[in-house]
Amino acid sequence: MKQRPKILLVDDKFENLIALEKVLSEFDVEFVRALSGNEALMETFLHDFALAIVDVQMPEMDGYEVVELMRQEEKTKLLPVIFVSAIYKEDFHVIKGIETGAVDFIPKPIIPAILKGKVRVFLDLHIYKTQLEEKVDQRTHELKKANQRLNEEILERRKANHLAEKAKKRAEEADRLKSTFLANMSHEIRTPMNGIIGMADMLRTTPLTEQQEEYLNLIESSGKTLLAIINDILDLTKIESNQMRLEKVSFNLEEEIQRALKLFHLKAQEKGIRLIFQAEEGIPEILLGDPIRLKQILINLLSNGIKFTEKGSVSLIISILKNNTQNIRLLFKVIDTGMGITSSAISSLFNEFTQSDVSITRKFGGTGLGLAISKKLTHLMKGEIGVESEIDKGSTFWFTVELEKEKPNEPVLQAERIDYPNENKTQQLSILLVEDNLINQKVAFFNLKQLGHTVDLAENGQAAVEKFKTKKYDTILMDIMMPGMDGVEATKAIRKLEAEKHIPDNARIYIIAMTANALKGDKERYLQEGMDNYISKPFQLEDLKKVLTVQKVK
- For residue 100, is it within any domain? yes
Rounded Cα gap, residues 415 and 436, in angstroms: 35
Rg (CA), the chain: 26
Domain at 277, CATH number: 3.30.565.10
Distant-in-sequence, close-in-space partners of 496: CB < 8 Å, separation ≥ 6: none
286-289 and 327-336: which strand pairing? Answer: unpaired
Q: Pick from 89, 124, 159: which residue ends a domain?
A: 124
Instruction: Identify whether residues 317 and 451 lie together within a single domain.
Output: no
Specify the pLDDT at position 358. 46
Instruction: Identify whether residues 401 and 434 lie together within a single domain.
Output: no
Specify the pLDDT at position 138. 86
Q: Check the CA dihedral 269-273-277-278 and report its sign.
A: positive
- For residue 148, is it within any domain? no
- For residue 86, is it within any domain? yes
Instruction: Identify whether residues 331 and 463 lie together within a single domain.
Output: no
- For residue 184, is it within any domain? no
Rounded Cα gap, residues 370 and 352, in angstroms: 8
Rounded Cα gap, residues 506 and 455, in angstroms: 23
Instruction: Identify whether residues 377 and 308 lie together within a single domain.
Output: yes
Instruction: Identify whether residues 387 and 451 lie together within a single domain.
Output: no
- For residue 13, is it within any domain? yes
| Peptide bond preceding 107 in cis form (omega within 30 of 0) | no
Rounded Cα gap, residues 521 and 172, in angstroms: 17
Instruction: Identify whether residues 305 and 434 lie together within a single domain.
Output: no
- For residue 169, is it within any domain? no
Instruction: Identify whether residues 313 and 377 lie together within a single domain.
Output: yes
Residue 159 half-sphere exposure toward CB, CA atoms < 13 A? 4
Amino acid, res. 172: E
Instruction: Identify whether residues 273 and 366 lie together within a single domain.
Output: yes
Structural contact between residues 283 and 320, judged by C-beta atoms closer than 8 angstroms: yes
Specify the pLDDT at position 365. 42
Distant-in-sequence, close-in-space partners of 417: CB < 8 Å, separation ≥ 6: 249
Instruction: Identify whether residues 70 and 104 lie together within a single domain.
Output: yes
- For residue 28, is it within any domain? yes
- For residue 26, is it within any domain? yes
| CA 243 remoteness from chain centre | 23
Q: Give the chain's domain count.
A: 3
385-390 and 394-405: which strand pairing? Answer: antiparallel
Instruction: Identify whether residues 388 and 259 lie together within a single domain.
Output: yes
Distances (CA, A) of 371 to 298, 345, 541: 11, 13, 34
Specify the pLDDT at position 362. 39
Domain carrying residue 119: 6-124
Instruction: Identify whether residues 266 and 395 lie together within a single domain.
Output: yes
Instruction: Identify whether residues 389 and 448 lie together within a single domain.
Output: no
Rounded Cα gap, residues 188 and 136, in angstroms: 14
Q: Pick from 124, 150, 176: which residue ends a domain?
A: 124
Running DSSP on this structure, what letter comes out for residue 414?
B
Q: Pick from 371, 405, 439: which residue ends a domain?
A: 405
Q: How far apart are the first and last CA of the chain?
A: 63
Domain at 71, CATH number: 3.40.50.2300
Predicted confidence pLDDT, tens digits, the chain (554 residues)? 568 899 999 999 999 999 999 999 999 999 999 999 999 999 999 999 999 999 988 888 998 999 999 989 988 988 999 988 877 667 777 788 788 878 888 888 888 888 898 899 888 888 888 888 888 888 888 888 877 888 777 777 777 766 767 777 776 777 667 666 766 666 667 677 767 777 777 787 888 888 888 888 888 777 766 775 666 566 555 556 555 678 889 999 999 999 999 989 988 999 999 999 999 999 999 999 999 889 989 998 998 899 889 999 999 999 999 999 899 999 999 999 998 888 888 877 887 655 545 444 434 444 456 788 888 889 889 999 999 998 988 999 999 999 999 876 655 555 543 333 334 445 789 999 999 888 888 888 888 988 889 999 999 999 999 999 999 999 999 998 888 899 999 999 999 999 998 988 888 999 999 876 655 567 788 888 899 998 887 777 788 888 888 654 34
